[in-house]
Structure 1
Amino acid sequence: MAEHDSDRDNREEREPDEQGVPFDEDAAWRAIVAGYGTEPPDPPGSKPFKPVEDLALPEPDATGDRDGPAEPRAARPLGSSVSFAPGVGPRDHVAPEPSDDDFDADDEGHFVPPEPPPLPVADASAKFAWLGVVGGPILLLLAVVLGWDMTWWLATVGIGGFLGGFATLVMRMRTDDDEDDDPGRGAVV
């Protein structure tokens, strides 16, 4: 490490090598600005790009002359677009209505999903827990928006309702402890 530091000290003490010719920074900037916008020449052996007007024309034959003089072709447009009459087009397609004749003996017909099961009935403690979780923050938000004085009882009801309702809902979560039969870590045969 000491050798490395000594090299650095020697470098800092040395003057940069002068070549005797002063560097003209203004001239360098003028040369850069003068060359700005000019395109550099293509490298040797590269094929230059064709101008946009000549893109539709065929490529020139790389082998040279053909059997006879080449006849000039008329320039075609680069592309075309399909225009549709008003009211006619790919987005105006309407699928035909299905009929009973569309189904054969293997088809089961139209699927009608079964009626969903009714929602479980919530008991009073779950309802009050959800009221605290949702109602507490809404009460505090109303107090801020409407400019009510944030009294101790308002803060207690809002924050306490949220925390109490959240704790109640977490405590009432069902766990899967009913299935204690652990089949092991492998396949059950």
Structure 2
Amino acid sequence: MPLESTLRHLDSLYAGSDDPWNHRTSPYEQSKFAATLAAVGEGPFRNALEIGCGNGTLLALLAPRCHRLIGVDCIPRAVALARKAVAEHPHVSVCEACIPAELPALQPDLVLLSEVLYFLGEADIHQLAAWLLARRPRIVCVNWLGSTDESQDGTSAMQIFQTALGTTGRTTIHDRYRIDVFD
């Protein structure tokens, strides 16, 4: 699916709901977030970045482990929702940006990519990986194992990402998703 089409699709999802994937209420999502936070580690992280933060549910859970945390999303409504979700955390900011073209000027020690890689094209994944390689943060990737409406699924996106990084991470396979950690 071309980027413009993907952005329209995500925009329409957020136009219809402030929680299109039921992040706040789904036991599956809560379990996945707990596994994600376990993979992230306790921290504290000096400068953390969540790319594709959506409505900010996971961003708010990550906030206590970070001295400074930036959430990034390309959908304006998601950015507004994420800002509300982290309003009680003054050390967290949320910005609207399309990744990888608009990556923030930051030297992160943690980057979280939760169900975002398959929204990127192969060239964008390579560009993101190059940005990460230049900074050497801990990277935690969460990818859905089912089919997507995108040009690739989580497994193929992760294969592209691993190739671009030149390494494989520690992988744990869960019921319907995988978590890869790169140190």
TM range (shorter): under 0.3
After TM superposition, the score normalised by the length of structure 2 is: 0.15
**Which structure has the higher relative contact order (CA within 8 Å, separation 6+)?**
2
After TM superposition, the score normalised by the length of structure 1 is: 0.15
Q: Which has the higher strand share?
A: 2
